[in-house]
Amino acid sequence: MATDTRERILDASRVLFARRGYAGTGIKQILAEADAAFASLYHFFPGGKDQLAAEAIRTSGAMYQQLVEGVLDAAPDLLTGIIDCFAGAAETLRATGYADACPIATVALEVASTDETLRQATADVFASWITALTTRIVSVGVDEATATELAISTIALLEGAFVLSRTLRSTVPMTAAGQTATEAARAVLKRAQS
Amino acid sequence: MATDTRERILDASRVLFARRGYAGTGIKQILAEADAAFASLYHFFPGGKDQLAAEAIRTSGAMYQQLVEGVLDAAPDLLTGIIDCFAGAAETLRATGYADACPIATVALEVASTDETLRQATADVFASWITALTTRIVSVGVDEATATELAISTIALLEGAFVLSRTLRSTVPMTAAGQTATEAARAVLKRAQS
DNA sequence: GTCTATACTTTGATAGAC
DNA sequence: GTCTATCAAAGTATAGAC
């Protein structure tokens, strides 16, 4: 078997939950997309939809973090890396018809006040992103507190632009947010290096 | 009748859709919250859940805009007004146990790729917010293009901070985003007045 | 591990009396 | 305009054969 059933179910889950949310995605829909039998789901995920979603969120968050870290590693410096991330996000939005943006934001907002298990999963993902970006900013000479604030603001700009760009079906918000993120980072780095 | 049935249904809808999303909110739940009979919904909203949600989104967006414009009007200058908006958002998050943030973001992400009617409703709301803020920035001497970029970035920071603050159950992201929004606005206004 | 069939619940929506 | 009763469909989850 090329890809095993469990992985196909997770793949389909990541895509559907990201695009349609938790409540908006049916289990039957996931299984149809994954070309898997109904019983397979409960064989691999005895906890049902909740367990499946939690694992989809955590792996999806880790995959997106890897993607971003790859872009940052490939860039000559941190500032260029941030520019590249926003440009890449804009391109992905355009290429997917404004469907694929943040892999977990839709679910995060949906479950924040209703499902503590899933809320924790989304919180762990965001916390990991913030920590990773903060570390990179600290490593170029910025103090911890300032770096944390810049990391959070950069991710907030990215997430907010995802909301606006998907809704308005335009890359303009992503581009504008990228500009502001770049300027904010430039200002912080300039201060740190003086 | 103190408040009429139609308005009670809309009130409950605005709250529930904002906190739990579109697919995650049941019509029966709305009617229970509104203390309204089942048939009343289809009397006032023949289009059913979709029509109800569209009206809830549009009115909710308009109400939030009025709230923000009130804060901006009360401030001595635009920069202070922006600071006040982020501080107010942080306080509301804290006071509601991180439940009430953007009234339409959850639904916006959910329906962006699945329901064109509702997507258009959320898009109209965001477009109205962007236009209103852009106008205010232009009115203090900033050119149209720069003002649009700053308005979009400010709203993106607010929306992104809503996602992070609700998920992490912390006002830290909202405060950090407010700082960055303030600095971005200060830089633009400084340039415009020179 | 996978298939088919099905139980049980909830959902959105409608009909008809009043 | 509101009430009660009810429908058909979709939702999640389980059972048992293979």
A126-172 tens-digit pLDDT? 999 999 999 999 999 999 999 999 999 999 999 999 999 999 999 99
Q: For testing the chain A interface, which of B27, B159, B174 should be mutated: the one with the most A CBs within 10 Å? A: B159
User: Which bases of strand C have any atom within 7 Å of the beta carbon of a protein residue?
Assistant: 1-6, 10-16
pLDDT of residue B2: 54
* Residue segments in chain B with a per-residue pLDDT below the cut of 50: 1
User: How distant is C1' of D7 from CA of A129, in Å?
Assistant: 49
User: How distant is C1' of D4 from CA of B63, in Å?
Assistant: 36
pLDDT of residue B170: 98
pLDDT of residue A193: 84
pLDDT of residue B194: 77
B95 close to A (CB below 8 A): no
pLDDT of residue B135: 98
pLDDT of residue A17: 98
pLDDT of residue A194: 77
Q: Token match 């904010």: residue?
A: A184
How many C-beta atoms lie closer than 10 Å to residue A194's C-beta?
5
A173 close to B (CB below 8 A): yes
A146 close to B (CB below 8 A): no
pLDDT of residue A37: 94
pLDDT of residue B193: 84
Residue A77 CB-density burial (10 A; 0-12 exposed, 13-18 middle, 19+ buried): exposed
pLDDT of residue A3: 77
Measured in degrees and rounded to the nearest 5, phi and psi for residue B186 equal: -60, -45
CB contact under 8 A, B176 and A156: yes
Q: Indicate the helix (H) or strand (E) that contains B86.
A: helix B78-95
Distance (Å) from the C-alpha of residue A2 to the closest C-alpha of chain B?
30
Calpha distance A162→A177 (Å, rounded): 10
